[in-house]
Structure 1
Amino acid sequence: MNASVSTRETSVKVWSPYIRLFHWSLVLCVAVAWLSSGEIMKVHELAGYCAGGLIASRLIAGLAGSKYARFRQFVRSPGAVTKYLADVMRNRERRYLGHNPAGGAMVLALLFCVAAIALTGWMQTTDAWWGVEWLEDVHEILGNSLLVLVGLHVGGVVLAGLRHHENLVRAMVNGRKRAPSADDVT
């Protein structure tokens, strides 16, 4: 038996091609927008519009997408998120095939933050909001907040990967994760 057959038998498809394309496209849009901020405004605006469009498409996928893309699969109550984080602190959290409760909360926070950045950025291009200083400040604060969220997201991915012996970045590239065991949440 060759290695690719063995890998396929011990892994399952979790992230659809759409989710993977969305994820890495959003990473690119955010990076371009951040790097072009205040320097190349047309590029910055275009990256923002693309990010906004991606968020709109992700909202549709959250309602009608594949199993692990749907909001009902990973949106948990604040109590469930708190319990999961307490389990993390005690080093006894369960492995989730899709997003764990903290990961689901992070997805929502990232989607909201990028949507708010795109909205406040677009508003600044309109006659009604052009040059409104507080709106520029909100846009900048949201951009900086997004960096904090991205840092927390990457930290959570690293922690979960180490705890569960899983390469989550590779899973977001090829869509596959280790097949679930009896203790895992699917």
Structure 2
Amino acid sequence: MPATTPAGRIKTWDLCVRLTHWTVAGIVIWNLFGPTDEAHRVLGYIAGGLVALRIVWGFVGTPPARFSAWWPTPSHLADYLRSLAAGKPIHHLSHNPLGGLMAIALWLLILALGVTGWLMRLDAFWGEDWPQDLHEYLSIALELCVYAHIVAALVMSVWTRENLIVAMLTGFKRDPHSKKAP
């Protein structure tokens, strides 16, 4: 079990999770709104590599980072949706089930963007429009998911009174078993 601090906080997100999250976030923002040049391509491949690292870390990393801690099964999703509907969201040390679904969607989109970006450079697809069109549609889907991710993190931070953005910066979340937790 992660170590609890005296202030009722518990170490949840390790350095690998936080660095991959914020580095990929920065790359995604740059690639969505910056120029589509050589840097765009290189950064896209780096983002894909970091997502691959995070997926590996989901099997071998610290307990809260592992898929077994937060994989959004149908029953976990149903329980969580019921708790939201009741106005009392279940506290999760790791990702909640909807956050887990969003992480999976974001990772799949980033990987698919890397593949379609690579396909656009292959001689086999020279003159073909579909790889570029697909790349553009995927980037729009990623942008929409990024907006939803940010809004959900802000809304849930206010609703649960646990700043999820700060938690992803510091690595600490509220310990639900601590008497000092709000």
The TM-score, its normalising length taken from structure 1, stands at 0.87
1:91 to 71, 87, 92: 87
**1:17 and 2:6 are equivalent in the alignment:** no
Residues 97-141 of structure 1, C-alpha deviations (whole Å, 9 max, x = no match): 111111111111111111111111111111112332111111101
Q: Does the Cα contact within 8 Å between 1:15 and 1:69 map onto a contact in 2? A: yes
Tell me the equivalent position of 1:122.
Answer: 118
Distance 1:101 1:11 in 2: 21
Secondary structure of the equivalent of 1:128?
helix
Task: Name the counterpart of 1:156.
Answer: 152
Residues 130 and 32 of structure 1: is their aligned pair in 2 closer, same or farther, counting only changes over 3 Å? farther
Match of 1:132 in 2: 128
Q: CA RMSD in A?
A: 1.6
Say if 1:104 and 1:40 are closer, same or farther in 2 by CA, change over 3 A.
closer
Whole-Å Cα distance in 2 between the matches of residues 93 and 103 of structure 1?
13
What amino acid sits opposite 1:78 in the alignment? Answer: P
- Pick the aligned partner of 1:80 from 76, 81, 105: 76
Structure 1 residue 181 corresponds to structure 2 residue 177: yes
- In structure 1, what residue type is equivalent to 2:31? A
Identify the match of residue 50 of structure 2 among 50, 54, 61. 54
> d(CA) in 2 for partners of 1:126 and 1:103?
35
Runs of 4+ in 1 over 3 A off after TM superposition: none
Q: CA distance change for structure 1 residues 26 and 177 in 2, over 3 Å: closer, same or farther?
A: same
Distance 1:8 1:24 in 2: 27
Secondary structure in structure 2 of the residue aligned to 1:122: helix
Deviation at 1:73, TM superposition (A): 1.1
* Unmatched 5+ stretches in structure 1: 1-6
Identity of aligned residues (%): 34
The number of equivalent residue pairs is 174
Write the letter of the residue equivalent to 1:48: G
Corresponding residue for 2:161? 165
- Stretch of structure 1 that moved more, 52-61 or 86-95: 86-95
* Aligned partner of residue 125 in structure 2, secondary structure: coil
Query: Structure 2 regions of 5+ residues with no counterpart?
Result: none
TM-score with structure 2 setting the length? 0.89
Supply the AA of the counterpart residue of 2:26.
Answer: L
Counterpart-to-counterpart distance in 1, 2:92 and 2:136: 34
Structure 1 partner of 2:30: 32
- Report if the CA contact (8 A) 1:76-1:105 is conserved: yes
- Give the secondary structure class of the aligned counterpart of 2:83: helix
1:64 to 60, 67, 81: 60
Q: Following the alignment from structure 1 to structure 2, what is the Cα–Cα distance between the partners of residues 146 and 92?
A: 29
